[in-house]
Structure 1
Amino acid sequence: MQRISDEQRRIRIVRRHLLAPGERASSPVAVADSLVALHATDAATVFLSACARLAEPDTAAVERCLYEDVSLVRMLSMRNTLFVVSNEMAPHVEAANARAVAAKERRNLLKHLHEDGNGLDERWLDRTEKSALAFLEDSGPVSGSELAAGVPALRTKITVFPGKKQETVQGVATRVIRVLAAEGRIRRDRPRGSWTSSQFRWALARPRPVEETAPAQAELALRWLRAYGPGTEADLKWWTGWGTREVRTALAAVGAVEVRLDNGAPAWVAPGDTEPEPARAPWAALLPGLDPSGMGWADRGFHLPAEHRSALFDRSGNIGPTVWWDGRIVGGWAQRGDGELTWRLLTDTGREATAAIEAEAARLARWVGEARITPRFRTPLERELTA
């Protein structure tokens, strides 16, 4: 059984994740496809992840893909998390993950309506959703509050978790909008404010082709192997949110090849992807919180020293802004309130690395311009750097 070393895994990242100057892409769609999906829980992450990998960083180009030609689509999918994927990838992700997530969201909403005890049922929800969709068809993109103002049923209040410690009264608008978005019937449109804002407007979404679940899961597994392989079953299970049976079925369906890692653990690569790749010149990168290169595996030991984890992750396992040198995470960065970018190395990397990181920080500062970035999930090092 062939062994793929940790060094080889780091070499793979530079090309497959478009992180060195000679590897960068010309379009945001190419970036998304190279990484399979971009984390989108934090609105700024999509832009920071994409522009870090574009030969010419351009937030306007990312906005065009998201809101004009809609060649990038936000989806509630893997691990019940919001991602951005390309239009080509969207049907696979919908069938492999998002459809099940949406069904669970609908069940949860119906459960809350039933527990409220005021006669709100599936028929009421169906009428309300049709009214919301009709309003969006007439109005075009609107905010959630504007949608609720135009659809009286969305202003209905319900008691959530009645009789329990967390009992509270909520409006149904947010929950109904979440279900419609999860099902791909509406989409997040251009937000109020800049590209860092999460105050999205809502618009009708384009219908997507319907795929079967098993082939879609096989396709998603193959794309992940090409971008992140070698990876273990545990890595793929964590990244997708699937069960062990689904992971093994998908790996078998694509003919994944078993290899060994440096620690002796069995892992998998795509068919024909066992050959070593030549080393490249050392490279530096400043990547945002939740970036795919930091969130692609359950076990990140091959590029993240264990002693750095407490500084760079929050308590829920979300990675913060990171500094990379030659395939390893060596520190973190932050933006202060006055716009200054600051960073700290957790590993002594030498003069060459320091100069390259300074150049990347200057590149990031230039295209970010007047925008202000505060990660949604703040980590100990990021807080220290902005204090």
Structure 2
Amino acid sequence: MRKVTDAERRDRIGLRHALATPASGVETAVRAVTCLHATEASSVYLSAYARSRADRESISDALFSKRTVVRQLAMRRTVFAFPVDLLAAARGSASARVVRQLTARLAKDAELAGIDDGPAWVAERCAEALQAIREEPGTAAQLRARVPALNTRIAAEGRPAVLAPVGSRVLSVLASNGSVVRGDNAGRWQVSRPVWTAIEQWLDEDPGVLDEREGYRELVRRWLWSFGPGTEDDLVWWLGATKTAVRRALDDAGATPALLEDGAPAWLHPDDVEEVRLDQDWAALLPTLDPTTMGWHRRDFYLGDHGPHLFDGAGNAGPTAWWNGRIVGTWTQQPDGTVDVVPIEPLSLAAAAALEEEAANLTAWFDGEVVATGYVPPLVRGRVSRGGGASGR
């Protein structure tokens, strides 16, 4: 059984994730990491830029004009931006699991609010909202104005003492089952104000839904190419799935067993078992919740002991600075949009120079705009506002 060293795994990040050599376009950049995190609207743009050097117009074109990249609620109840041909797999597997969870919780809260048949009530609200969206796409506020039942107030999820309109939760159910998508954005590029649109209207036709087993097989196959070698625990975490589902998917995908440097059992894509080497230096500045930062459950080989400086208590990572496959710091913006690299550890002259060049390029790409993030790394918390600007150098 082949052992894959930590050094090789870091080389694989540079090659597979299009960070050492840029991808040929936005769609290729997305495929390089299977899909992009889209919890924050700006992260899609910044992750795509980091891998392709695409300008904002090209990224918006992929999202809203060509519609080759589509946002979908999927693994771990997180919004991702998927290549359009991967939607059927996600909808049938990871998204389907989320649908069941969201529907059950919403039905339970409805019954606690005095509604007799929670599941039937949820089905009715979803049908009403979907019909309204098919008649005319709209933002959440617009849909609530057109569908009064979406204003029904029940206990907010996880906060039984707080009553909130049910509309957002109904839209989450529809988004996870894939019948509606986040279509056009009514906000600026770095702010998410989705215009909810029926999937068949957004893509001209419904991309379909694979059955659960086939869906997980395809997601695991793509993940192994992007992130392999990885462990069973890595995949259970990334997919938000059960060990049973992951083990079956690994078998269905024909995954090849391997060993990590510490002897832990792992898996490689069946067509990617040869040693990978990268004979060049590379630097990258990645955004909040970037797929490379968040791709594994076991992160020591690229994160070291820097986790407490970059991750919050819920396991969410802020912006990161990379050198040759390792996280070596974070980055912030000044009020004028200038990007500053904030190291966690001493940097070599080559690393410092390369990261400063990346910062200059990203500053030019921002063109004076400052991006807010809800995930400020502990390393710079207190000197960086939630609005993205640093309060002091």
TM-score normalised over the length of structure 2: 0.91
How do residues 35-46 of structure 1 correspond to structure 2 at under 5 angstroms? Answer: 35-46=33-44
1: CA distance between counterparts of 2:132 and 2:243? 43
Q: Choose from 308, 325, 331 the match for 2:329.
A: 331
* 1:186 is the counterpart of 2:183: no
Question: Secondary structure at 1:142's aligned position in 2?
Answer: coil
Paired position in structure 1 for 2:209: 210
Deviation sequence 1:318-337 (CA, Å, 0-9, x none): 11111111111111101133
Indicate conservation of the 8 Å contact 1:19/1:52, yes or no: yes
CA 1:127–1:262: 2 relative to 1, 3 Å: closer
Equivalent residue of 2:363, what SS? helix
Provide the identity percentage. 36
Moved more, 152-161 or 340-349: 152-161
Q: 1:35 corresponds to which letter in structure 2?
A: V
**What is aligned with 1:113?**
110
In the aligned structure 1, how far is the partner of 2:134 from the partner of 2:159?
Answer: 40
* Matched AA of 1:50: A
* Aligned counterpart, 1:234: 233
Stretches of structure 2 that go unaligned for 5 or more consecutive residues are: 201-205, 385-389
Shift of 1:190: 2.6
Q: Where does structure 1 lack aligned partners over 5 or more consecutive residues?
A: none
Q: Name 2:141's counterpart in structure 1.
A: 145
Q: Does 1:65 align with 2:26?
A: no
Tell me the CA shift for residue 266 of structure 1.
1.4
C-alpha separation between the residues in 1 aligned to 2:358 and 2:98? 38
Q: Which residue of 2 aligns with 1:10?
A: 10
Q: CA deviation at 1:239?
A: 0.9
State how 1:194-343 maps to structure 2 within 5 Å.
Answer: 194-206=188-200, 207-306=206-305, 308-343=306-341
User: Using the alignment, how far apart are the partners of 2:215 and 2:181 within structure 1?
Assistant: 22
Separation in structure 2 between the aligned mates of residue 377 and residue 313 of structure 1, nearest angstrom = 8
SS of match in other structure, 1:339: coil
Conserved? CA contact 2:14–2:278, under 8 Å: no
Question: 1: distance between equivalents of 2:68 and 2:271?
Answer: 30
- Structure 2 Cα separation of the partners of residues 372 and 120 of structure 1: 48
User: In structure 2, which of residues 52, 64, 74 is the aligned counterpart of residue 77 of structure 1?
Assistant: 74
Alignment partners' CA distance in 2, 1:8 and 1:338: 39
> Could you report, residue by residue, the CA deviation over 1:139-197 in whole angstroms, capped at 9, with x for unpaired residues?
3x322111111112222222458xx9741221111111111111112111232331110
Instruction: From 356, 359, 362, give the equivalent of 1:358.
Output: 356
After superposition, the CA RMSD in angstroms is 1.9
The amino acid across from 1:170 in the alignment is A
The superposition leaves residues 343-368 of structure 1 with CA deviations (integer Å, 9 ceiling, x where unpaired) of: 11122231111111111111111112
